[in-house]
Amino acid sequence: MSRFEFYNSQGLRIDGRRNFELKNFESSLTTTSNFNNFSRNSQSSTTYLQMGQNKILVNIDGPKEPTNSNKSKIDQDKAVLDININVTKFSKVNRQVSTNNNNSPDKQTQEWEFEIKRLFEKIIIMDSYPKSIINIAVTVLQQDGGILASIINCVSIALMNNSIQIYDIVTACSVGVVDQMHYLLDLNHLEEQFLTSGTIAVVGGSPTQNVEDANVCLLSFNDIFPLDLLDGFMMAGIKGCCTLKDIMVTQVKAMNINKLIEIQ
Amino acid sequence: MAKELELNNTEKKFILSLLAQNQRLDGRKSLIETRNLDIKINPDAYGDVYVSLLTPEGSVSTRVHCKITADIVKPKDKRPFEGSFYVNCEINGLTGLQFENYSKPNSMSSEGYYTRFLESMILRSNALDLEQLCIIAGEKVWDIRLDLHVLEYDGGFLECASIACLTSLLHFKRPYVEVQNEKIHKVYTDLDERDGVNLGVLHIPIAVKFNIFQQLPTEELIKQSNNTNPGKELVAIDCTIKEEMLSNGEVLVALNKNREIVQLDKPGGVPLQSYKLLELANMALPMVENITSKILKAIEIDESKRNEYAYLLSAENDRYDG
Amino acid sequence: MSAANKILNVITHSKDIGNIDFNIQLSNEAKEIYNFESSDDDFDMTSDSDDEETENKKLVNQMIAPGDLVIRSNEYMKGHNTYTTEDLKPIAFSGEETQKDDELNIYSSTLGVISKINKLISIENVNKNLYMAEIGDHIIGQIVEVTSSKKWKLNINGNNLATLQLSSINLPGGLLRRKNEQDELNMKQLLKVGDLINCEVQGVYANRNDVHLHTRSLNYGKLRNGALIKVKMGLIQRKKTHTHFFNNNSIKIILGCNCFIWVSHEMTDRVNNNDKGPQTIKSDITRIEQDTSFEIYSDINDPNIDIKKRILISKYIIIIKILAFNNLVISEQRISALYDMLLSYKTGEGMETVGSESLYVFNDPEVMQELGSQLIQSEKMRG
């Protein structure tokens, strides 16, 4: 059916991973107590995530009082979330030529913004920041499949790095299906292009948790696919998300550990 | 979501308590009962469809008009063998006052999201065969444009729009094109002169939206060990606008009757347990089957009406009488 | 769900940064306090409940991620950065089937360290980016907006803007003067957008989001003749006094609690008049009446500040920058100690001391780090 063999008899994928093998996950904090930071009003810090070949920067500004331009948005009781995703034109293999002249994001990006906004509105404890606005700016530097999942993961880390109160950690993972029987986790762009694939996000998953009870907060699935295989698809995704949470927590803790002891 | 409509607190409480008792404000008896569907096809044209949802009393609550137009254009360079398909959805002051000055340039509204859902539901699942729209490869293809107008809005937009889309896709006939020597010889725009060609609709995906009403605060939800507290949330389909405003999560499912998921989206909102999601996807199936048969029936009735006087005109009749 | 059985273990790739970093960066002492090894596991209070000391040790100072269970108990109260859920049904513990209904699960909502004050459990943020106002704090704010309702809005490095009401400032012409409509119209003349003022927190309302300020003392008011530095949160601790004088009382440094620092040149003649020090000014009511002329809201810097005085100001600014770079808490003693070190600092072996005209040497991060470590060493020597 497709030109590639996505999952061979030895159980290896195109890029040499096993089917349930996640991408390399590395995140770092750009704004630390380094040179030149002291003079800055360091209300925001930038979080960088590299998930396989996906490279994403997330900058969170706020919570702060809205400026005049978006004052109409404010809510007296809780915070307002504003998400901007900027997919750079050089992020793919081929440079994207934009059809529209103005810099408005394309439909796909708008859809991501919509989904991510709706997702994090329920995860951030909005009540604790009345009359303020939280700006989340996402920049996609390089993409290699499963970009929505990577964005969600990076925003999740950035929220922790910025000490914004959240109920629990959100992790996301992309899942694909080969030959209607093998499930692949964390797709690369070839797999995403040719396989039926989707993204699943879980809040507060833990590896010990019962998979059926996992709290799914986002599911995006855009391909034709037999209904009866849906459970396997979701199980694979949830397992991936739950495993990812542990990695994420250790990395975030390691990132921030030096902040505990540095002030003398 | 409609912005300027505001519910007062008593109304909110009342609707939610009704839902908790498995009742609906408009008189429906269950959370999973849909409103009555009414499909009207314009007898003078092809692909011109009005779909409305009727309240139990019979008045129209949501009405969508769907019209397909076809043009001959040059294909994209990347895909010389494929025609193109667009969904254009208009929601403005015509629909309701709350949609006045609605369009914001750089952000997506829920309705914009639903429109995109519909477009990708039809395109990515190959429900519409784009290769069949090719006239001359790399030169001329059909460009199918689907215009949705929401005439009255009381929730249920996604279902209504998807039904309207599919009905008009199934019903539409594009003009026959005669090709000679790699050039278009004649386009029979007058369908009386030569009958048009149906679009290649390979399967019929129908979208269903589930609205979730979660009473528990989010923290309880995330932290609850779920065995102690299963199924606190209420799930309703085909919600009215008031119910939609109160719901705090939604699941959009598009299925066809071959037991295939065409699209499944849960755009944020309250978390939902995974088994519940599966349940919902399976729950949508009988509804989709029901709606599909309704669509096919409506088209069949329309066909028979159009051919009502066919026997008078056909040559066969003459011979029979004589 | 049969497919669940098919799923093998998920393979992951991530460098085990955690353990390496902990070993390098933490001293032994810190390791004892921060019990990181068990930070991933939620600990329950059911075990070792007799031994209160071990219990406290476990509770205190553990780095905790959002969503982690802090404690399950009905004794404790939730503080900042936590949220609670109630157990509707008892969770089956071994032998503890009958739990009370009002038992609370306290969860963390941020990345931080547990702090426990009596029965109040709260999580202290690891990233203290924002200033949390407390009543009585001496802070520096920047005017962002003059509203129509007799208020100024100030940026005080917090979540939201603080408000300064017209009624809570000293108007020119004496303390006892009545306020009239003319004052309301003149608000923009008194304090404009962009002005810096030195004020005190009068009240904190609405979950720390609504901060009211006042400047009803001669110590407070508009700032002139100097420069502002912003440093990271946590570098300034709440003290009895936040205004300090250096260099024969010619330099005044205000360490705002919100980590805005104002370094200014103080007029020597005025300081000489008050030999007893700055503290006595406040109590002198008659002086307040004299001094609250329109001049205190003037925008013009003192013409007597020449280049030498400016260099002196920038020297103190650099001192604060060096302290901030090394993450040292900024205090009066440290500033004066570092000033002495700066005077005798040599740029390298056999080089001359740095003259006051070439301050840029200190912008080198290596030099900054060296000075910081020297300062810590000398502090240790003194004990």
Distant-in-sequence, close-in-space partners of B53: CB < 8 Å, separation ≥ 6: B34, B35, B36, B37, B38, B60, B61, B62, B63, B154, B156, B159, B160, B238
Nearest C-alpha neighbor of A23 from the set A182, A178, A191: A191
List C-alpha distances in Å: C59 to B223, C41, C103, C113: 21, 13, 18, 10
Q: What is the pLDDT of residues C101-137, one digit of tens each?
A: 566 788 888 888 888 888 888 888 777 667 888 888 8
Measured CA angle at A227 (ends A225, A229), to 5 deg: 80
Range in A24-33, A188-197, A250-259, B134-143 with the lowest mean pLDDT: A24-33
Mean local confidence (pLDDT), A62-86: 78
Tell me the residues of chain C between 301 and 330 that have a Cβ less than 8 Å away from chain A: 321, 324-325, 327-329
Distance CA A130, CA C206 (A): 9
Nearest C-alpha neighbor of B144 from the set B260, B46, B38: B46
Residue C30 pLDDT exceeds 50? no
Residue B56 pLDDT exceeds 70? yes
Q: What is the pLDDT of residues C148-174, one digit of tens each?
A: 778 888 888 877 788 888 888 877 665
Residue B9 pLDDT exceeds 80? yes
Nearest C-alpha neighbor of A81 from the set A186, A155, A14: A155
Between C276 and B18, whose confidence is greater?
Answer: B18
Tell me the residues of chain A between 143 and 182 that have a Cβ less than 8 Å away from chain C: 160-169
CB-based burial of residue B275 (10 Å sphere; 0-12 exposed, 13-18 middle, 19+ buried)? buried
Continuous segment of H or E residues that includes residue B176: strand B176-180
**Domains along chain C with CATH numbers:** 13-125 (2.40.50.100), 128-223 (2.40.50.140), 224-266+306-383 (no CATH)
Strand order in the sheet with C104-108: C69-73, C104-108, C82-86
Distance CA C18, CA C29 (A): 18
Tell me the shortest Cα–Cα distance from C85 to chain B, in angstroms: 5
Both tokens of residue A70?
């978006």
Nearest C-alpha neighbor of A182 from the set A18, A4, A14, A15: A18
Report whether B263 contacts B205 (CB < 8 A): yes
Both tokens of residue A20?
């349930």
Nearest C-alpha neighbor of C65 from the set A238, B226, A159, A130: A159
Mean local confidence (pLDDT), A19-37: 67
Both tokens of residue C50?
């007799």
What average pLDDT does the structure give for chain C? 71
Q: Does B229 touch chain C (CB under 8 A)?
A: yes
Residue C28 pLDDT exceeds 50? no
Q: What is the pLDDT of residues B175-232, one digit of tens each?
A: 888 888 888 888 888 877 888 888 888 999 999 999 998 877 777 777 765 445 555 7
Residue A160 pLDDT exceeds 80? yes
Q: What percent of chain A has pLDDT over 90?
A: 15
Both tokens of residue C24?
């390098």
Give the ranges where chain A is alpha helix by DSSP (H). Answer: 107-123, 147-161, 189-194, 230-256, 258-261
Partner chains of B (3+ C-beta pairs under 8 Å): A, C
Q: What is the per-residue pLDDT for A172?
A: 93
| Most confident of the ranges A231-240, B100-109, C27-36 | A231-240
Strand, helix or coil for residue C251: strand
**Domains along chain B with CATH numbers:** 9-312 (3.30.230.70)
Mean local confidence (pLDDT), A100-108: 71
Residue B290 pLDDT exceeds 80? yes
For B208, how many CA atoms within 13 A lie in the half-sphere containing its CB?
Answer: 28
Residue A7 pLDDT exceeds 90? no
Q: What percent of chain B has pLDDT over 90?
A: 20
Between B311 and B293, whose confidence is greater?
Answer: B293
Continuous segment of H or E residues that includes residue C230: strand C226-230
Q: What is the pLDDT of residues C333-377, one digit of tens each?
A: 888 888 888 777 766 544 455 555 566 677 777 888 888 888 888
Distance CA B211, CA B252 (A): 9
B193: number of Cβ within 10 Å = 10
pLDDT band for position A31 (cuts 50, 70, 90): low
Distance CA A113, CA A119 (A): 10
Rg of chain C over all Cα atoms, to the nearest angstrom: 27
Q: Which residues of C touch B275 (CB under 8 A)?
A: 1
Amino acid letter for position C260: F
Residue A19 pLDDT exceeds 70? yes
Q: What is the per-residue pLDDT for C22?
A: 34
Range in A5-19, B167-181, C337-351 with the lowest mean pLDDT: C337-351
Distance CA C85, CA A160 (A): 21
Q: What is the per-residue pLDDT for C86?
A: 67
Nearest C-alpha neighbor of C367 from the set C107, C270, C72, C358: C358
Q: What is the per-residue pLDDT for C2?
A: 41
Q: What is the per-residue pLDDT for C360?
A: 67
CB contact under 8 A, C105 and B229: no
Listing DSSP states for B237-278 in one string gives ES--HHHHHH--EEEEEEEETTTEEEEEEE-SSS-EEHHHHH
Residue C97 pLDDT exceeds 80? no
Both tokens of residue C157?
């490095």
Tell me the residues of chain C between 57 and 86 that have a Cβ less than 8 Å away from chain A: 63, 65-67, 81, 83
Nearest CA in chain B to C69: B223
Residue B86 pLDDT exceeds 70? yes
Range in A9-13, A249-253, C54-58, C177-181 with the lowest mean pLDDT: C54-58
pLDDT band for position C301 (cuts 50, 70, 90): confident
Q: Does A263 touch chain C (CB under 8 A)?
A: yes
Q: What is the per-residue pLDDT for A70?
A: 67
Mean local confidence (pLDDT), A201-206: 84
Strand, helix or coil for residue A260: helix
Residue B293 pLDDT exceeds 90? yes
Report whether A83 contacts A62 (CB < 8 A): no
Q: Does A69 touch chain C (CB under 8 A)?
A: no
Residue C93 pLDDT exceeds 70? no
**Domains along chain A with CATH numbers:** 25-94+105-257 (3.30.230.70)
What is the value of pTM for the model shown?
0.81
Distance CA B119, CA B166 (A): 11
Tell me the residues of chain C between 196 and 255 that have a Cβ less than 8 Å away from chain A: 206-207, 209, 229-235
Q: Which residues of A touch C67 (CB under 8 A)?
A: 166-169, 204
Q: Which residues of A touch C377 (CB under 8 A)?
A: none
pLDDT band for position A162 (cuts 50, 70, 90): confident
Mean local confidence (pLDDT), B234-243: 87
Name the residue among B225, B275, B278 with its Cβ closest to that of C91: B225
Name the residue among A111, A210, A227 with its Cβ closest to that of B281: A227
* Per-residue b or e along B62-88, where b marks 16 or more CB atoms closer than 10 Å to that residue's CB: bbbbbbbebebeebeeeeeebbbbebe
Range in A181-185, C155-159, C195-199, C331-335 with the lowest mean pLDDT: C155-159
Strands (E), C88-158: 104-108, 112-117, 120-125, 138-146, 151-155
Residue B87 pLDDT exceeds 50? yes
Distant-in-sequence, close-in-space partners of C300: CB < 8 Å, separation ≥ 6: C224
| Most confident of the ranges A5-9, B28-32, C197-201, C357-361 | C197-201
Q: What is the per-residue pLDDT for A154?
A: 93
